Structures are given as C-alpha cells and as structure tokens.
Amino acid sequence: MKKTGLDIPSCLECTNKNSVFCCLTKEDKEIITDRKGSNFFKKGQVIFYEGNHPHGLFCIHKGKVKISKLGEEGKEQVVRFAGTGELLGYRSILSNESYNATATALEDSHVCLISKDKFMDVLNKNNNFSMEIIKMLSADLRNSEQHLINISQKTVRERVAETLLLLKEKFGLESDNKTLSLSLTRREIGDIAGISTETTIRTLSDMNKDGLIELKGKSIIIKDMKGLIAEANILD
Amino acid sequence: MKKTGLDIPSCLECTNKNSVFCCLTKEDKEIITDRKGSNFFKKGQVIFYEGNHPHGLFCIHKGKVKISKLGEEGKEQVVRFAGTGELLGYRSILSNESYNATATALEDSHVCLISKDKFMDVLNKNNNFSMEIIKMLSADLRNSEQHLINISQKTVRERVAETLLLLKEKFGLESDNKTLSLSLTRREIGDIAGISTETTIRTLSDMNKDGLIELKGKSIIIKDMKGLIAEANILD
DNA sequence: CGCTTAATTGAACATACTCAAAATTTGTGG
DNA sequence: CCACAAATTTTGAGTATGTTCAATTAAGCG
C-alpha cells in the first residue's frame, strides 16, 4: 500500500459535492485540510478494524467502502456503505470509543485521513457543521433501523431484492444504465442481507430464471426494475 | 388521557440526572421550558405514531416508553426503549421528517412536549448542546447496529437472554434485586428479539426449567445472572 | 361473574442453513 | 501466455430452527 506524502488533495479544492464539509468556511477547511495524510487502499484492503483505537477519521476522496461487524461465529454483517465524499469512523471519534466496525475498500480507493483534534476543533466552533453531522447521524440511524426491520421481518427473496436496489441507489449503474456498477461476491451480498452464501446464490439464480435480473459473471444486470421493486416490498 | 395545563414541571427544576438538558445554561433552559405542554399517558397509550408529522419533541419526565416500527405484515419490531429523562422524536425534528417509529407508554408516564422551534433555537446557539445530541445519536446508532447483528446472527435463545439483560440494564430490578422492574407481555418480548410469541413463550419456559429465570405471572426473576450472560453470548 | 386478552401447548410445516462435492473463475508465478 | 493454486460459485441432500395454526388454559378487568 502506497503512502503518498505528495499528492494529498486539499479540502479547499475538493469537488465532492455531497460531502459534509461543503458548508465549511475557507478557514475551517484550512484547519481540516491540515491533516495527517492521504492513502490508497486496494480492493479488499482494510481501512480500519473493529476494536482498534481511532487515530482520526477518514474521508473518501474517491472510492467505495463497506462497513461491517463480525458476529460471534466470525460471520460478517455489512452495516452500511460509504462512497466518494463520505466520512468513515467519525462516530468513534465523537463518542471517544474504539472503532465499532471494520471498513474495507470495495474497489481501489483514495482516502484522506483527518486529524481527530482538527475535526473536533471545527465541530466545536462551527455550529453549521455540527448540524451537518447531526443530520448525517440521523440519516445513518434511520437506515440502520430500517435495515433491522428488513432483516427481522422480510423473507430472503425480499431482502435480496432490496439489497440489489440498495446497491443501485448507493453506487449507481454502469453506462448501459442497467448493470450494477459495484460487483460484490455472493458472500458479500449475503452479508448485507444477512443470509448464507448458498441461499444468496440460489435466490439470485431464481431471480435470473424469473427474468428480474441477469447474471453475467460477477455483474448483475437489472432487467425488470419494477418487478424488483415489487419483490422488495418496500415501505419507505 | 388528562391534559394538565397546571402542573407542568419546569426544566429549570428538573432533577433528572441523565438528561441531555443538564448541560444547558439557565437561559437556555428557560427557552426550552417555554413549551407547549406536559401530558400523562397511561400504560399502552401511544405518544406518537410512525408516519405522523411531528409538532415537537418529547422528554420523559417520568416513565418508560418503547419505540417500535411496523413491518409489512403488521408485525411490530421494538427499535429501542426510553426511560425517565430521555428524549423521544428528536430525530424526526432534526431531519425534518415525519416520525420514523411509534412511541408507546409501557407504564403510566408523564411526558413533556417541547416546541420544535425552541429546541432548534437552543441547538443552533449552544454548541455544548449540539455535542450532547451528537453523543446521544452516536450511542443510539451504536445500539441499533448491535441490535442488527444480534437479530441477524444469534439464535433465539441467545436473543431472549440478551433481551432480558437489556431490560435489566435499561430499567433495572425491583427492590428484591432480582425481579425485572418492567414486565412486558410475551409478545412484546418477542417483538424486541424479533421472534414469534409462541417461540418466546417456549424459550422462557425452557430457561425457567433450566433454572436461569423464574416466571411468576408476568414477572421475570433472574435466578442465575452469570448463566444468563453466558447464554446471551455477548461480545460487547 | 362474564368477557376479553394473554399465555400455553401440540403438531405440521416452511424456510433457510449446513455440509459436502463438483464446477467454474480468478489470481499468480514461471 | 500457460499452468497451477486458490477462491468463488454452484448444486444437491439432509436437517435444524422457528413459524404458523388451532385449540386450551389462565389471567386480568370491568
């Protein structure tokens, strides 16, 4: 893993639109950008581990990341995803705890590491920023609770359908406008929906037969969006 | 339900220790206490419904409340609990959405209703308060994610054990130091753990036979705390 | 005391998991 | 670029775990 001390992007010039840092003043951005570093993580590499003590928080300059927790038997449960412009590990900083989950790059990612102190400084002086963080936490909490209901009450088929739609929402489609732009292993898909790898495979295969999706190697092509939404049985 | 315009407790004199309002200045407390009202809710009554538009947020002056969501089939999933001194519905206010869940009194409860505007005023001017809210959201999120892992990966027996321990942590024991001070129906216990009423009954009954707990009507007596903790298989 | 709700029990059933084995894909070093 | 190794995907069969449904008993409440 290459550690670049050279081409660290400045927060002042960062063009990521959906970042929480958008609302910051120039001075505050300068404080934040005074950071420890900026790292590349190859697909599959771990950005931080559950249980470790946080040195700072991460902002995804470009890339896709999964945040997951391990159950007792070593089974993984994906808790949420983060993409370009989003923050990682901020919650542990806020509550001064060790990382609550593990973050893993889902594709080659460029991640900035922001100093804990700088972050807290800005948070304490800038109320707009606090409000942004509050909104972010609120959204995360809402999603987490919805995820809970899904896993506790929906059938496997509904959960798989919902997971595919989630991946589409979060990371979008390829230029053909129908292929999920993020391809995961079957096991990873199962880890989101909370089901075993084999059952995931069988369910995807069924959906393939039913014409909802098409499986081309690791790529998943959504053939019948309406049908998939109907299968997911979404309430929201 | 009686609506008292008379004996509204003042936030200035509120002695609830674990309240997020603790850190407020006198002036800010005065702003907050300038509120719409204060209501009594009998056991089983609903404080607010999922989907409804929030008029304000609630602070439990005294009482116990469950926050739950409905799945598609009308099955309930308890998302979290709140007791004396805690806030309800604040997240909907923060993200300007309708209530995301339903709050129901688990015992006769006295609940203060705080105006949305006053709350937001204080939040915008007082950074300490923002930090308190951020911490509260962080803790809620952490719990929610843990709950997700529990439901997705633990067996029914583990979940029931964990639920009993949760109830003990959250609401404590009676003066005998072994009986759960909050008694719920079997269905409600199942709604927390995400299992059917019948299975909940059978599992509690088994634990009774195994000497872990004792069932006296609705009361649950913890006879073997260590054993129960072992059963719950808690990682945290 | 009657009525409604909650708790309990049994039996049948469904759903998804586990385990094992085979086929396929992917990655890597030569 | 090929060959081999490792990881992933796939399929089948058996099984465990909980759910559902129905019927009964008990408890709470006006």
Q: Identify all chain A residues contacting B133, using CB atoms and an 8 Å cutoff.
A: 134
Q: Please tell me whether residue B151 adopts helix, strand or coil conformation.
A: helix
Distance B196 CA to D22 C1' (A): 16
Residue type at B158 in one-letter notation: E
Q: Please tell me whether residue B88 adopts helix, strand or coil conformation.
A: strand
Give the pLDDT of residue A235.
58
Give the pLDDT of residue A5.
43
What six digits make up the tokens of A70? 């391990």
Q: Which of residues 25-54 of A touch B (CB under 8 A)?
A: none
Neighbour tally for B104: CB within 10 Å = 22
Grade residue A4 by pLDDT with cuts at 50, 70 and 90.
Answer: very low
Give the pLDDT of residue A2.
40
Q: How far is A96 from chain B (nearest CA, A)?
A: 10
What six digits make up the tokens of A51? 């249980």
Give the pLDDT of residue B8.
77
Q: Please tell me whether residue B71 adopts helix, strand or coil conformation.
A: coil
A201 or B30, which is more confident: A201
Contact B107, B63 (CB under 8 A): yes
- Summarised one tens digit per residue, pLDDT across range B105-146 is 999 999 999 999 999 999 998 989 999 999 999 999 999 999
- Summarised one tens digit per residue, pLDDT across range A124-162 is 989 899 999 999 999 999 999 999 999 999 999 999 999
User: Closest Cα partner for A69 from B153, B38, B174, B160?
Assistant: B153
- The structure tokens 């709604």 sit at B191
List the single residue in B75, B127, B145 with the smallest CB-CB distance to A127.
Answer: B127
In the predicted model, what is the mean pLDDT of residues A161-173?
A: 96
Give the pLDDT of residue B165.
97
Contact B124/A131, CB-based, under 8 Å?
yes
Q: Which residues of A146-162 are buried (b: 16+ CB within 10 A; e: fewer)?
A: bbbbbbbbbebbbbbbb
Give the pLDDT of residue A25.
86
Rounded alpha-carbon distances, angstroms, from residue A156 to A111, A211, A233, B148: 34, 18, 12, 16
Neighbour tally for B32: CB within 10 Å = 23
B190: phi > 0 → left, psi -120 to 50 → alpha, else beta; which?
alpha
In the predicted model, what is the mean pLDDT of residues A85-96?
A: 93
Parts of chain B with a pLDDT under 50: 1-5
Contact B41, B60 (CB under 8 A): no
Give the pLDDT of residue A35.
62
Contact B145, B33 (CB under 8 A): no
The burial of B107, by beta-carbon neighbours within 10 Å (0-12 exposed, 13-18 middle, 19 or more buried), is given as middle
A204 touches strand D (CB under 7 A): yes
Q: How far is A143 from chain B (nearest CA, A)?
A: 10
Give the pLDDT of residue B2.
42
In the predicted model, what is the mean pLDDT of residues A29-58?
A: 88
